[in-house]
Structure 1
Amino acid sequence: MFTIAKYEGIQLLRDPLVLLMSTLIPLAACGFIYWSLGSANIALAAVFVPFFMGSFVIYGSSVTTLAARRQNLFLKRLRCTSESSAGIVIGLILTFILLAAAETIGMITVFSILQTPPSNFFLFIVAVTLVLALYVGFGLATAGVTKSPDSAQVTTLPVALGVMGVAFWVAVSGTETLTLLKLALPGGAAAELLLGAWQGTQWQEAAIPLIVTVAWTAIAFVASKFFFKWEPRR
């Protein structure tokens, strides 16, 4: 697994465009959000960070990478090695997971230094972890229905825009109205969880959004098991 991850990391460093898409663009987006909202509502700006990192760094990059490795039969050849199926898949996308986690930690640390840290730190960390894991699951599922790296630009749009759109909607408008709908949609409960954790919501008060976020993460991984393919799609 780690050998595969090392190879993918080297490939990432050799591709300036992918490296740019995975680092500067999400960091610039988070910086813009902070510049726009930070002085008024740092919690709102902080909520957007893991969604940007998950969408740009993990989701889009993972789908593109897995589709490319399957198309050139590299994914199929890896199954002939002693590495487990899970180890192969994790190895291929581990670089993006670590990169997203590092960038998220970096941006949240900057936000905390410039203003205030999350009031419920451990709940916030759990929420961030679930959001990134949600994008991992969706990435594996979407890769299964993506024929080529070029088509990844199309297949990733519904989930990327949908989850971020729901998260922004919930973060901006709250859950006082249309509560069930906002919490039930993917990304809605996670946004509520992140916002509440930053503002000091206690664990018992966050039980419902936490359970819903865990459920969506589990659904994403179940979908990935169902849709993911090792053979090239025709």
Structure 2
Amino acid sequence: MMVLALAQAELKLLLRNTAVAISALLLPIGVGVFATFNLPDDAGPSAWSMVISIQLLMVLGFTVYFTTTAALAARREDHYLKRLRSGEASDAAILAGLLAPAVVLGLAQLVLLAVISAYLGAPMPANVLPIALALLLGIALCLVGGIATSGRTASSEQAQVTTMPLFFGMIGGVVIGVFSPAGVLLPGGGLAGLVQHAMTGSGPLLPALGSMIGWIVLLSLLAKAWFRWEAR
């Protein structure tokens, strides 16, 4: 019940922040739909794997990663985190309640984009499991990345700057992965590799999986080292 109450309160606060609300709600859907515009009617699984990778990247990057960073930075600076921690809720319950809205909104957006893509002719995946892994690992990566980045972010407005390195690394992984297998070493490359395997039945499955897990471990260590409950 504590987690649900915190999640409901955080959702209201999130939607009141215009910059965060636009980044979390409008940009991912807009870019995700735009990515389908230049596809030919007979586009195959390879082309659609790129589109789906971009859609996942936009939703996870904006709705989960950016929102997590901005929300935790804002709640810390207004001493909300400190007040919550002085109550009965555990640290895990507090974080779960504060981060749940970003995850739920992200999942809702991905369902909407999946329906739109199917309507526009996206083929069914050759293997659903890698897409499920891309989604779960991508959410985990963006959550721990957001927790880590929030420790280096003074306000929700500053999150527009501090989230750029990881976000551009994710974009670079998707783009470079099209031309070189080395792209899988970047955070977005692992995600794109899993999607490619899901859609085409081939691709760097194990390297992509290892890359995603490696980035999650690294960002988890950074989150543990950098995250702060109290404002300086």
User: Residue 66 of structure 1 corresponds to which residue in structure 2?
Assistant: 72
2:212 equivalent to 1:206: no
Quote how far apart the aligned CAs of 1:148 are. Answer: 1.8
Contact kept in structure 1, 2:14 and 2:21, CA below 8 Å: yes
Partner of 1:149: 156
Distance across 1 between alignment mates of 2:29 and 2:57? 12
Aligned-residue sequence identity (percent) comes to 30
Q: Distance in 2 between matches of 1:78 and 1:118?
A: 43
How many residue pairs end up in the alignment?
A: 225
Post-superposition offset of 1:70: 0.5
Q: How does 1:132-143 map to 2 (within 5 A)?
A: 132-143=139-150
Where does the alignment leave 5 or more consecutive residues of structure 1 unmatched? Answer: none
Shift of 1:47: 1.2
Q: 1:106 aligns with which of 112, 121, 146?
A: 112
Alpha-carbon offset, residue 102 of structure 1: 1.5
Q: 1:160 aligns with which of 164, 167, 170?
A: 167
Residue 37 of structure 2: SS of its match in structure 1?
Answer: helix
Three-state SS of the structure 2 residue aligned to 1:118 is: coil
SS in 1 for 2:55: helix
Shift of 1:15: 4.0
C-alpha distance in 1, partners of 2:120/2:34? 15
In 2, are the aligned partners of 1:38 and 1:45 still within 8 Å (CA)? no
TM-score, scaled relative to structure 2: 0.89
Q: CA deviation at 1:16?
A: 4.6
What amino acid is aligned across from residue 59 of structure 1 in structure 2? Answer: Y
Q: State the AA in 1 paired with 2:193.
A: E
After superposing the two structures, state which structure 1 stretch, 55-64 or 218-227, moved more: 218-227
Counterpart contact for 2:64–2:143, Cα < 8 Å: yes
- Let me know the Cα RMSD of the aligned residues: 1.9
Indicate the larger mover: 124-133 or 37-46. Answer: 37-46
Whether contact under 8 Å (1:128, 1:194) holds in the other structure is: no
Say whether the 8 Å CA contact 2:173–2:184 is kept in structure 1. Answer: no
Distance in 1 (CA, whole Å) between partners of 2:159 and 2:21 is 17
User: 2:103: which partner in 1?
Assistant: 97
**Greater mean deviation of Cα atoms: 31-40 or 73-82:** 31-40
1:16-35 paired onto structure 2 within 5 Å: 16-35=18-37
